[in-house]
Amino acid sequence: MSVNQQQVPLWQALQDSAHSNQIAFHTPGHKRGRGLPAAILQHFGSALGSADLPELPELDNLFAPEAAILEAQVLAAQLFGAEQTWFLTNGSTCGILAALLTVCGPGAQIIVPRNLHTSVISGLVLSGAVPIFVQPTLDSQLNLAHSLSVQDVQLAFETYPQTKAIFLIHPTYEGVCGDVSAIATFAHDHDIPLIVDEAHGPHFAFHPQFPQSALAAGADLVVQSTHKMLGALTQAAMLHVQGLLIDRKRLSQTLQLVQSTSPNYLLLASLDATRHQLAHAGLNVMEQVLTLANKAHTQLNHLPNYRPWDPIGTTPGCIALDQTRLTIPIEPFGDQAYDLDQTLIDTYRISAELITPDHLTFLITLGNTEDDIDQLLCALRELYHPPLHPSSLAYSTNKLPIALPVLSPREAYWYSSEVVPVLKAVDRISTESICPYPPGIPILLPGERIQKQDLDWLLQLKQQGGIITGCSDLRFQTLKVVRE
């Protein structure tokens, strides 16, 4: 198939179909927008409905692509540096689920960082794989986790030599990057695949000042949330594969298990349009993003007595940092993170990406302007008042550096359970995945034994205004645990 980055095959096919005068006797029920509620039409106009189309012959089929979708995926693979690319409409979550279902059968062991996203737990429940949890180093300055190092992975593999795959996060939510290249080399030396959750790093391939992309570093399967840092619509994502260690036919089949049979073509076409944008202006666009990010970092660091966060080189799990993330400690700006976040929203019209008890993270992308950065800096300058007696809601762990759960996530999920008061759940085995959201990194996992400091931290987080998800009791007063 000829590859011409000037083309936008799927986007063009959708536009052509949207502007046709065909009479629709197919889904969706609004019939090219004519039946949409008045409120939607008033806000978005008729163009949205006219392009909200199903799997018409001219639009190709996501699960058996032969024309526009196939052409768009081939173009994306070439641009992002993959051998094959799949478009996703259920976000990175479905890509991670498919990856785990492809490489891990029931009982298979896989090395995973303990600061994994909750979607990985879902994949472990569905696949029946057994996680080898590896604890990343905790950053003492901001109380957050780094990436895994190759030394961490080597030790885990030596301890559990039956490991079938390695799973990494690159970058972390705050932009910390480990040595993916070294870990990929280690994985391939042992003939096992490296899967990378690069949900927050789809922009890495488009400027030399960004950390190395996972594909360039040698990863076998990479999942990216194209909507998070680039211009695609929310839930639009990509899955990339290279090498011989991933069964691509099986991967295509598993994607059909976890994706909707009625994919949204607006999402799919936005992936094609985003690829086209990057192909023609990616370097210039990312240069502008870096200019804005560098301005934010530089001017913030000029605040008197402000200590910039610079974790690079502090541990083997941090060799690079994505500068598009501005992560600030809470203490110099206010006592409570959630109060500070609300002040930023109410007074300055600023919404952060991530709020934890210890820090706030702001994402700077191609959609931001210099006025945005100026407003953010103005707000932070006005709110800056370092406390005389610093305090924070510190989270420490005494979990083993490398450990299997007591039960696999799948076993715990299906195990006979009982409901107990939260404070009575200490030393019991959780059947739930409990996590603050965002970022969606579970503190309690199905199959792990519950520790007191985990509960104390979650209760304090809730008291401060944090959102806790995954608990069947939405008030977080009880927990489901394995029945004794």
Task: Domains for the chain: give ranges and CATH numbers.
Answer: 70-268 (3.40.640.10), 283-383 (3.90.1150.10), 405-482 (3.90.100.10)
Q: Which amino acid is at 59?
A: L
Which residues lie below 8 Å from residue 407, measured CB to CB, with a gap of 6+? Answer: 415, 429, 446, 447, 482
Say if CB 210 and CB 180 are below 8 A apart: no
The proportion of the chain whose per-residue pLDDT surpasses 90, expressed as a percent, equals 81
Higher per-residue confidence, 172 vs 310: 172
- Give the pLDDT confidence score for residue 397 in this predicted structure: 53
Q: How does residue 375 score in pLDDT terms, banded at 50, 70 and 90?
A: very high
Q: How does residue 137 score in pLDDT terms, banded at 50, 70 and 90?
A: confident
Secondary structure (3-state) at 340: helix
User: What average pLDDT does this structure show over 125-142?
Assistant: 90
Look-up: residue for tokens 């303990």? Answer: 114
- Give the pLDDT confidence score for residue 166 in this predicted structure: 98
The proportion of the chain whose per-residue pLDDT surpasses 70, expressed as a percent, equals 96
Secondary structure (3-state) at 380: helix
Q: CA dihedral defined by 443, 352, 293, 316, rounded to 10 degrees?
A: -10
Given a cut of 60, whether residue 391 has pLDDT beyond it is no
Given a cut of 60, whether residue 388 has pLDDT beyond it is no
Q: What is the DSSP string of 178-233?
A: --HHHHHHHHHHTT--EEEE-TT-TTGGG-TTSPPPTTTTT-SEEEE-HHHHSSSP
Q: Which amino acid is at 257?
A: L
Round the average pLDDT of the chain to a whole number and report it.
93
Look-up: residue for tokens 């299997």? Answer: 404
Q: Percentages helix, strand, coil for the chain, rounded to the nearest 5? A: 40, 15, 45
Q: How does residue 393 score in pLDDT terms, banded at 50, 70 and 90?
A: very low
Backbone φ/ψ region at 303: left (φ over 0), alpha (ψ -120 to 50), beta: beta
**Closest C-alpha among 134, 84, 131, 140 to residue 114:** 134
Give the torsion sign (CA, 58, 61, 66, 67): positive
Given a cut of 70, whether residue 418 has pLDDT beyond it is yes
Q: How does residue 399 score in pLDDT terms, banded at 50, 70 and 90?
A: low
**Closest C-alpha among 97, 77, 78 to residue 87:** 77
Q: Distance between CA 437 and CA 469 in Å, rounded?
A: 6
**Tokens at residue 112, please?**
């995973």
- Give the pLDDT confidence score for residue 466 in this predicted structure: 84
- Give the pLDDT confidence score for residue 392 in this predicted structure: 47
pLDDT 10s digits, 68-97: 999 999 999 999 999 999 999 999 999 999
Question: What is the bridge-based pairing of β-strands 417-421 and 435-436?
Answer: unpaired
- DSSP-assigned letter for residue 134: E
pTM: 0.94
- Give the pLDDT confidence score for residue 460 in this predicted structure: 86
Q: Distance between CA 476 and CA 441 in Å, rounded?
A: 17
**Closest C-alpha among 351, 332, 331 to residue 341:** 351
Given a cut of 50, whether residue 183 has pLDDT beyond it is yes
Say if CB 258 and CB 102 are below 8 A apart: no
Given a cut of 60, whether residue 398 has pLDDT beyond it is no
- Give the pLDDT confidence score for residue 400 in this predicted structure: 65
Given a cut of 60, whether residue 310 has pLDDT beyond it is yes
pLDDT 10s digits, 298-307: 999 999 888 8
- Give the pLDDT confidence score for residue 222 in this predicted structure: 98
pLDDT 10s digits, 263-283: 999 999 999 999 999 999 999
Q: Distance between CA 200 and CA 184 in Å, rounded?
A: 19
**Closest C-alpha among 370, 385, 381, 375 to residue 335:** 385
Which residues lie below 8 Å from residue 318, measured CB to CB, with a gap of 6+? Answer: 137, 146, 147, 176, 177, 178, 311, 312
- Give the pLDDT confidence score for residue 428 in this predicted structure: 96
Q: How does residue 387 score in pLDDT terms, banded at 50, 70 and 90?
A: low
Q: How does residue 138 score in pLDDT terms, banded at 50, 70 and 90?
A: confident
| Residue 464: its H or E element | helix 452-464
Given a cut of 70, whether residue 362 has pLDDT beyond it is yes
Angle at alpha carbon of residue 262, lines to 259 and 268, rounded to 5°: 75
Look-up: residue for tokens 């899967």? Answer: 195
Q: Distance between CA 431 and CA 480 in Å, rounded?
A: 6
**Tokens at residue 405, please?**
């759960």
Q: Distance between CA 328 and CA 309 in Å, rounded?
A: 7
User: What average pLDDT does this structure show over 219-237?
Assistant: 98
Q: Count how many residues are written for the chain.
A: 484
DSSP E strands, 198-248: 221-224, 237-241
Q: What is the DSSP string of 8-74?
A: -HHHHHHHHHHTS-PPP-SSSTTTTTTTS-HHHHHHH-HHHHHH-----GGG--TTS--SHHHHHHH
**Tokens at residue 377, please?**
């800096």
Given a cut of 60, whether residue 24 has pLDDT beyond it is yes
Given a cut of 90, whether residue 361 has pLDDT beyond it is yes
Q: Which amino acid is at 404?
A: L
Q: How does residue 52 score in pLDDT terms, banded at 50, 70 and 90?
A: very high
- Give the pLDDT confidence score for residue 331 in this predicted structure: 85
User: What average pLDDT does this structure show over 367-386?
Assistant: 95
- Give the pLDDT confidence score for residue 1 in this predicted structure: 57
Secondary structure (3-state) at 474: coil
Say if CB 91 and CB 235 are below 8 A apart: yes
